[in-house]
Amino acid sequence: MPSEKKALAVIGAGIMGAGLAQLFAQNGYAVRLHDLSEDALTQAVESARINLRMQSDFGWIEPSAVDEALRNIETTTSLSDSVAEVFFVIEAVPEVLALKKEVFDNLGKISPPDAVLASNTSTFDVMSEMPEDIAGRVLITHFFNPAQLVPLVEVVKGERTSDGAVETSMELLRAVGKYPLLLKRYLPGFVVNRIQLSINAMAFMILNEGIVEPEDIDKAIENSISLRLAVGGPFATMDLGGLDVMAASAQAMGVPPPPPLAERVERGDLGVKTGKGFYDYAGASSDDVIKRRDYRLMLLLDAYRKGLDE
């Protein structure tokens, strides 16, 4: 919790805006939630109430914390009122570049001159579109739906974004329990959506083969790689399986092993079994690394199975 209640603004009361307002409100920040629609604002607060009650029922927060968090959310249809005396602004309007540019143009004129202006875009390089007078305080903080639950936030710095704006963003995100991933530069789709796009493309290719139905593909993912990747990303998973095995598997499917993989195999850095792959396992036995992976997987499977029983 912040030592004193700091105010920030969320612009846009859709699904993401509602989740963002809840996230910061339940972590003790005064949130000014703005939208042009009173109905959208009412619905956003009700959505936050439902989600907070779910967290209370789950035992994550005390029942009293629900109303406490909701009291931290102030709604308004006035853009100027929403950003008065705030230190941070998050834009969460629809993914329309012209609309986002208009919002930021207005924010630049009415927000405090030292307030960070962040966009939740998952698509656009909004930083390159900014006028020079506000470019230093504009960056991307891409949250994932549901914003109040998913830990990762992709932070993208523009060429003109100041280090101070980045530091403020990283500190704020860590303060509310997020894992901020700082990208060195803008890349269309950032990190996660590019990976997700490749998964979706392959899912469609398999579907077109006519051997399984969409629900079969979903169940295959849910009961295999989604669980494995939850306890170790693709490079850690390759290290555990053996990079030589990964390279051979790629070749069997007609895909040349990518250079970072082929180079490690050629050097004999095959992952956990040789003590080095994409990670350096010096000082840790392969049994210890595997045991840690399996323990985390067992915890995840326990929760997964309980969810299936409910």
- What's the chain's Rg over C-alpha atoms? 22
Q: What are phi and psi of 274, to 5 degrees?
A: -110, 0
For residue 62, indicate whether it is catalytic.
no
**If DSSP codes are grouped into helix, strand and coil, which group holds residue 91?**
strand
Look at residues 91, 149, 97 and name the one whose alpha carbon lies nearest to residue 115: 91
According to DSSP, the residues that pair with 59 across neighbouring strands are: none
Distance of CA 298 to the CA centre of its chain: 24
Q: Which helix (H) or strand (E) holds 74?
A: strand 73-76
According to DSSP, the residues that pair with 76 across neighbouring strands are: 34
Token digits for 216? 């079969």
According to DSSP, the residues that pair with 179 across neighbouring strands are: 152
Place of tokens 């329309």: 96
Cis peptide before 214 (omega within 30 of 0): no
Given the residues 91, 95, 102, 154, the one annotated as active site: 154
Distance CA 29, CA 4 (A): 8
- The total of other beta-carbon atoms located within 10 Å of residue 70's CB is 17
- The CA-based dihedral angle spanning residues 250, 236, 198, 307, taken in that order and rounded to the nearest 10 degrees: 120
Place of tokens 């956990």: 272
Q: Which helix (H) or strand (E) holds 296?
A: helix 286-309
User: Which residues are designated catalytic?
Assistant: 154
